[in-house]
Amino acid sequence: MSEAIYKIKKAFVVPLIAVVVSLFLLFLISLTTSQTWEIIVIAILFLFSLAACMNMAKKEIIVNDQGLKIKKVFRCKEFSWAEITHLAVVVLRKKVYFLLTTTKGFYIFSNLLENHALLIHSLVDKLGDEKVEAEVKNYLNNPLERFSLIIMSWIAVVIVVAVIILRLSGI
């Protein structure tokens, strides 16, 4: 039995973890020097970024001979190949979203997955021509990588670290 596991790119998860850690440090610093509303805003930002980070770090798509398994933080969905009815793609510049329709609902995943082209290729092989749109096969000829979200995550890290430095320097 062969099994392949696809996770979110580490190049995106690492800066997201850095944002969470730096927001937590900013929260600790703000506890001693800030007003109540600032503490509340920073705490909310920290909690939302922590939830997003946990979701991204734990998200997995597992492909095996029996079917497909989509794991998230608090849930896991399993589908046999017969339950999957359709695979489509939407391309918006460098953002690519894949729509997987099943008898249990539909699921969307993006090109932020590591080796996402290999994942799509294995889905196309397992599903057959009748369940896969022609655009998906065309996409496989020229897969796109998404780097803008990774760059924006690093910019967010730099901004939060700059705020921490300004906070500590007393400016």
Angle at 145 between CA 143 and CA 146, to 5 degrees: 140
Q: Residue 107: how many CB atoms within 10 A of its CB? A: 16
Cα separation of 55 and 20, whole Å? 13
Residue showing tokens 């359709």: 86
pLDDT at 6: 92
Structure tokens at 42: 């920073």
Domain 3-169 has CATH 2.30.29.30: yes
pLDDT at 1: 53
Structure tokens at 25: 């440090």
Q: Where are the domains of the chain?
A: 3-169
Cα separation of 53 and 47, whole Å? 10
pLDDT at 86: 92
Averaged in consecutive runs of 10 residues, what is the pLDDT profile of the chain (171 residues)? Answer: 85 92 92 87 94 91 90 88 90 88 89 88 87 87 84 92 87 69
